[in-house]
Amino acid sequence: MRLGYLTAWLIIAMLGWLPALAQEAPYFVTYDHHLEEPGNLEIATSSTMGVPRSNQRFYFAPYAEFEYGVMGRWTSELYLEGQSTSGDSAVFTGWRWENRFRPLAREHFINPVLYVEYEGINEASRIQKEVVGNAPEFGEPNSELSQTHAHELETKLILSSNVHDWNIAENFIVEKNLSQNEGFEFGYALGFSRPLATLASSTNCRFCRENFIAGLELYGGLGSTQGFGLHDTAHYAAPVIAWQISDNASLRFSPAIGLTHESNPALLRFGYSYEVRGFGGKLAKLFGGKP
């Protein structure tokens, strides 16, 4: 068991050293309506660092993402995640399988996306890809939290619009823990972003304004069926920025500020991704099939 945790942890850590190999939205929590191109594979590594209150400990939660464009209106993604707490230990916290579907083929003023994710994680998970329900407890040791496993089903209604140079996205989240006899948990995420410039410069410049997208995320929990609302929930406001390093690689960064006592005072998030274009066709040729 310990060997399996160590192996998964090393995989996550090593992804952070992969060399840069597409401009993507700067969001870490909010989803918009843009899906991965069919046949392309995006590999990313991201991390969430929680800045604690006086009675809590600093934690570092890296995760790896493998996103594949199955079809033009269907993107599937696999997550592997871990967590390390200062003065405690490092543990592998589980995996997630995410699928996003666009019911409408063409671009509309409001573009809906249906999201379904299955999670096989434990209570030590800290990546906070979504914030739902009531605020979690952070005081228990990893040795206890990692022994409590959860099989969860998460759904989202994603609404996204491109208005002039802005992207505006709204997510409503519903999550169900299938391992326990309890109700549904709810959450939300809102995102606003735009490129710093819309006209490309005449020179090949990686630090030019058109290679940067900046915006803001707001996300938090909305309680559960046992008590819907804002009581005892965590909420964050997070500036976000993405830098297009090359034609198919980008960096993202976001310092989130906790807005309630139940939130972490701050979350620091950073991510790196690169896209392998035509991965599906290359894989088919490798095994003698048609691209």
Q: How many CB atoms lie within 10 A of CB 160?
A: 22
Q: Which of 218, 187, 234 is nearest to 53 (CA)?
A: 234
Q: What is the pLDDT of residues 121-138, one digit of tens each?
A: 999 999 999 999 987 777
**What phi and psi, each to the nearest 5 degrees, are found at residue 96?**
-140, 145
* Residue 162 pLDDT: 95
> May I ask the CATH class of domain 2-286?
mainly beta
Q: What is the pLDDT of residues 4-29, one digit of tens each?
A: 444 455 444 444 443 333 447 899 99
Q: Which of 208, 201, 209, 258 is nearest to 233 (CA)?
A: 258
Return the domain boundaries, the chain. 2-286
Strands of 146-183, DSSP E? 149-163, 166-177
Band of pLDDT at residue 291, cut at 50, 70 and 90 = low
Strands of 196-265, DSSP E? 212-224, 227-228, 235-246, 249-258
More confident residue, 72 or 289: 72
- What is the share, in percent, of the chain residues with pLDDT greater than 70? 89
- 42 has a pLDDT exceeding 90: yes
- 108 has a pLDDT exceeding 70: yes
